[in-house]
Amino acid sequence: DPREIQTRNVAVWYAQDDSAVPPSHGKWLADHFSSQEGVETSIRSENIGLGHFTYMPSRGPVFQVDEETLPRTLIDFCAREQ
């Protein structure tokens, strides 16, 4: 049950046009974690026609800027904790 996850940092990135995983799941997770006190949440929700593959490194403009990559976001979370 995702409501039992305890974390200080979480990235919830989901595609609004995803046909493999309902976007409502991403929205629910984003709403849940962003409402938790003390949890830093990175939320992205795109609708660029790539569906489930929106955030894959070799696909589309979403991944062209280093600062916008999921690995960069997670590394930044870790760096702030040190």
pLDDT digits (tens, 9 = 90+) for 23-72: 999 999 999 999 999 999 999 999 988 888 887 766 555 555 555 677 77
Residues listed for the chain: 82
Whether residue 7 has pLDDT greater than 80: yes
What kind and span of H or E run contains 66? none
pTM of the model: 0.75
Q: How confident is the model at residue 79 (pLDDT cuts 50, 70, 90)?
A: confident
- Distance of alpha carbon 26 from alpha carbon 56, whole angstroms: 17
